Structure 1
Amino acid sequence: MQNTDLYSNTHLVVAAIRVLTHQKKAPPSIDEVCQALSFSLEQGNFICNKLKETGIIEVVEGAYGTRLFIKNHLKIEDIPKGDKVSTLEEELKKFQNSKKNFTKKIESFQAKQAKKQKTLFAELEKKLKQETDKKKS
């Protein structure tokens, strides 16, 4: 059974970074940590981003790829125990909702533009009729 709380996952990730650094004599990549812990790459990236935000680890991108370093392991204790990690489904729903809102904004903008264009063409047609009526008179 895989741990789902951020506190436990943080301990696992930090321990994996330490072990892999010791074994390979070089800082590990996110992919290596995920393989060692049997995490999906998405879950590993999500957890590493949370740890980077809190200052627990440092993610360095270099010529040999992205590497993980432990920055301040004492901040792990600041994470509330039992705090559930957002599941991929929850994150997907949030993304879909934001996309729906964005789509609604686009549709609203397009409707306004179509209305403006219709009004503009109506005014142009009215002016054109007035001009043709003046020429006929």
Structure 2
Amino acid sequence: MKPNDLYTTAHLFVAAVRVLDYRDGAPPALEAVCGLLDFSDEKGSYLLNRFREQGIVDTVKSGFNDRIVIADHLAIEDLPRDVEESRLELELKKFKKGKDTMKEKVASIKAQQDQKKQDLFAEIEKKLKQKMEKK
């Protein structure tokens, strides 16, 4: 089971940094952490930036690439523990809500048009009856 909540992912990320630091004897690069956790480079970069903003990890510039160090592991406890919905899911919900609203508008306009048509036919029928009575 792969965790989706930020809290659990932060714990995994920090644990991977610690394991790689212990194993290699130096702070790991982002590529090593992503390789250990089987994350894509994009996801790893996103998480690194997010955790850096929260003050959980920090990066140290080295000769070839940036190395990741743990800044404040207790800041993980401030993260939400529930599964957050992805932006795609949020956009899909918004789209469906907009589509439902549009369907309601179309149904309302159609009902108005039907009512206008019935009123028009009733008026024409009334005028025809009046003409027939005059003759």
TM bucket, shorter chain? 0.5 to 0.7
- For 1:40, the equivalent position in structure 2 comes to 40
Counterparts in 2 of 1:9 and 1:63: CA distance versus 1, 3 Å: same
Q: Secondary structure at the match of 2:58?
A: strand
Q: Which amino acid aligns with 2:64?
A: Y
- For 1:71, the equivalent position in structure 2 comes to 71
RMSD: 1.8
* 1:51 positional shift: 0.3
Corresponding position: 1:28 with 2:36: no
Equivalents in 2 of 1:83, 1:53: separation in Å? 20
Q: Which amino acid aligns with 1:71?
A: A
Residue by residue over 1:54-100, the C-alpha shift from the partner in whole angstroms, topping out at 9 and shown as x without a partner, is: 0000012221311000000000000010142746x57xx8xxxxxxx
Equivalents in 1 of 2:85, 2:62: separation in Å? 29
- For 1:116, the equivalent position in structure 2 comes to none
Equivalents in 2 of 1:76, 1:83: separation in Å? 15
Equivalents in 1 of 2:61, 2:77: separation in Å? 27
Is the CA contact (8 Å cut-off) linking 1:6 and 1:85 kept in structure 2?
no
Q: Which has the larger radius of gyration?
A: 2
Counterparts in 2 of 1:86 and 1:28: CA distance versus 1, 3 Å: farther
Q: Which ranges of structure 1 fall in alignment gaps of 5 or more residues?
A: 94-137
Kindly tell me the number of residue pairs found equivalent between the two proteins: 90
Return structure 1 stretches of 4+ with deviation > 4 angstroms. none
- For 2:113, the equivalent position in structure 1 comes to none
